[in-house]
Structure 1
């Protein structure tokens, strides 16, 4: 049923809950797992100059070792969990608007299922803060499994 499962991660506790589900599903179905970290260019753009942002867009982190380290750490958690269960994993880092990058990656890589965490916000809080998960749901035709962190506490 699932041969290629994507788990976008930012290294947060919410993402780690989704990672657990994604690894379980990948093991159960014999699927390959794709760990994707997206450098949110809009967030980065606020504190950097144009030249640095352009380099990051091209995938050259340069002095931005912290970004590269954060990405490597986040996808590394997925890779370690997957390898412990005998699941093949591909680690990727991309730059852009997270929901667009995730949706495009899912389409391009022929992903069968996206597994993402959610903070479980509702109402005004969700409307004001937005939600990468909600935007991914609206941006792709690939099935998305949303794991609600509140339901696991």
Structure 2
């Protein structure tokens, strides 16, 4: 039975490690990489570059091209999505709305002032999730 895995991505090394983990450990499962655009995070300088030429209503992060390449290197087609809202809440809502069976995420992505002010997204997701969460260091 194929499972649906969700890998939140913010273009950090821990997030890329989580994607590599998902592709390696779960090669036969459906994998969706989601990027949450958090207005509060952007206000503190933690936002990610985006491609303004995307047809969708929300711009796609520049690093999604790398995500697709990593998937192809593993012989896997990776689905991508962009959600808006507070990162942890947006990730959890996406998981519930799309029948996600497991969330796999990096241990940290933020650094410096934004991490102190905003807390750890991985911690918040783990604490609030009804879906099993795997944290990859």
Residue 46 of structure 1 and its aligned partner are, at CA, apart by: 6.0
TM-score, with length taken from structure 1: 0.69
Alignment of 1:5-84 (within 5 A): 5-27=5-27, 30-45=28-43, 66-68=49-51, 71-84=60-73
Unpaired segments ≥5 residues, structure 1: 48-65, 121-125, 149-153
Q: Computing the radius of gyration over CA atoms, which structure comes out larger, 1 or 2?
A: 1
| TM-score w.r.t. length of structure 2 | 0.77
Name the one with the larger helix percent. Answer: 1
Unmatched runs of 5 consecutive residues or more in structure 2: 53-58, 110-114
**1:147 has 2:127 as partner:** no
1:45 positional shift: 4.5
The residue that corresponds to 1:93 in the other structure is 82
Kindly tell me: are residues 79 and 26 of structure 1, through their superposed partners in 2, closer, same or farther at Cα, counting changes over 3 Å?
farther
Whether the 8 Å contact between 1:76 and 1:91 is mirrored in structure 2 is no
How many residue pairs end up in the alignment? 123
* 1:2–1:128 Cα change, 3 Å: farther
Assess if the C-alpha contact under 8 Å between 2:41 and 2:118 holds in 1: no
- 1:55-77 CA deviation, whole Å, 9 max, x = no partner? xxxxxxxxxxx433694333332
Q: After TM superposition, what 4+ stretches of structure 1 lie above 6 angstroms from structure 2?
A: none
